[in-house]
Amino acid sequence: MSELDRCCPSATPPSRRAALGVLAAATAASWSACTTGVASAKSTSATAPSEPTSLSGDAGRSRTRLLLLGTAAGPTFTPGRAGIGSVLVVGDRTYIVDAGLGTARRFGQAGLQAASLAGMFITHLHSDHLFDLFNLLWTTPGALSGPVPIHGPGRAGALPEPYGGKSVPLVDAGHPTPGTADMISGLVAGYAYDMNIRNTESGAQTDHEKLFEAHDIVLPSGTKASATETSPAMRPFRVFEDDRVRVGAILVPHGPVFPSFAFRFDTDEGSVTFSGDTTYSENVARIADGCDILVHEVVDLDWFAANADIMGGYGPGILEHMAQAHTTPRQVGRVASDAGVGQVVLSHLAPGDPRAVTDGTWVKNVRKAYKGKVTAGRDLTQYGVGRRR
């Protein structure tokens, strides 16, 4: 029985030549607090990985399937990988966890239909987890079968002190920490003309404001969490349930970001936990207790340290952020071992370019602390969950 049901050193740094060889030739990618690691454009002779266009992997006859839409960390264009996003398919329904850059396209390439959308879950409000959120909802709004529930973090309530103590410019300084419901309301308002003109010119009766139901996740009473104490030890709690899935959440430490969640999905066939973005966390092990698949983020800190001089565009705190906000492969192995999970699927890879850190390197370093099955995730790969028909 899961905890949820009971309660309701990393890779060796690559050489300088190898590191330069993986940089994208055409893109000077802007950095954010959750970046993948390729910032300046330099020439490269390495061949960019091909883009997948259809599902791969063997899910057998599993009624519950995990689909990786995008597996790259950060708001950058990464060769061969879309931004972070996953789908749990249960029968004819789909449940989305995060929606990074390119995941709407991957959703279509996976052969999924908008009418199957039964829920969307946002781990935290960093842009690389949100870029395609509205695209997924708005690509074919008339095909949605009903109001799609969207569950995500509420308002943080406060911002942390700026790095180095220096003041920084704020957007909407009077309301600087909006939550999920605020974000969806703003997106709908921003698309008002498009929505209205399409109804007007076609005579459609679509009430677009009723297509989405945004819910800020409410923390259990007594949870001692805040913008300054982002992830105290706690028990998982239920955030959603229908006749196909039971979804639990728990707070995880992602630098100063608050709230930031891991999610666990339990179905009649099996269970999948998504770590979200997090540094090493016992809370992740708690919610993943005994689950079939743990989808966990991962970072190669040695790669970032070795390439600090070719990363530009962000601020001096980026390397410190990477260490405080993400999990090394060996730490992923510790979490998986402590939780006793059936297998680990690595996603939100940082750096995301497969020419920087190979699949074998990711897997080898997780296995230093976990002896079960480990896979370095690739876009449009599917996995069977639990027992098969």
Query: Is-contact 278 328, C-beta < 8 A?
Result: no
Residue 111 is assigned to a structural domain of this protein: yes
Residue 262 is assigned to a structural domain of this protein: yes
Which pair of tokens denotes residue 37?
Answer: 């690691």
Residue 171 is assigned to a structural domain of this protein: no
Separation between Cα atoms, residue 34 and residue 275, nearest integer Å = 15
Instruction: Single out the residue of 162, 127, 155 nearest to residue 277, CA to CA.
Output: 127
Separation between Cα atoms, residue 368 and residue 350, nearest integer Å = 19
Specify the pLDDT at position 41.
33
Domain that holds residue 377: 3-160+212-384
Residue 243 is assigned to a structural domain of this protein: yes
Residue 165 is assigned to a structural domain of this protein: no
Residue 195 is assigned to a structural domain of this protein: no
In DSSP terms, 272 is beta-bridged to 265, 293
Residue 264 is assigned to a structural domain of this protein: yes
Residue 103 is assigned to a structural domain of this protein: yes
Higher pLDDT, 279 or 77: 279
Cis peptide before 351 (omega within 30 of 0): yes
- Other beta carbons within 10 Å of 308: 9
Query: Domain with 321 in it: what CATH number?
Result: 3.60.15.10
H-helix or E-strand spanning residue 31: none
Name the average pLDDT for the chain.
87
User: Strand order in 93-97's β-sheet?
Assistant: 212-216, 148-152, 117-121, 93-97, 85-90, 64-70, 381-384
pLDDT tens column, 116-153:
999 999 999 999 999 999 999 887 766 777 799 999 99
Higher pLDDT, 77 or 86: 86
Specify the pLDDT at position 176.
96
Specify the pLDDT at position 310.
63
Domain total in the chain: 1
The alpha-carbon radius of gyration of the chain (Å, integer) is: 20
Query: Is-contact 284 339, C-beta < 8 A?
Result: yes
Share in percent of the chain as helix, strand, coil (round to 5): 25, 20, 50
- Bin 115: left if φ > 0, else alpha if -120 < ψ < 50, else beta: alpha
Instruction: Single out the residue of 315, 337, 347 nearest to residue 128, CA to CA.
Output: 347
**In the predicted structure, residue 162 carries a pLDDT above the cut 50:** yes
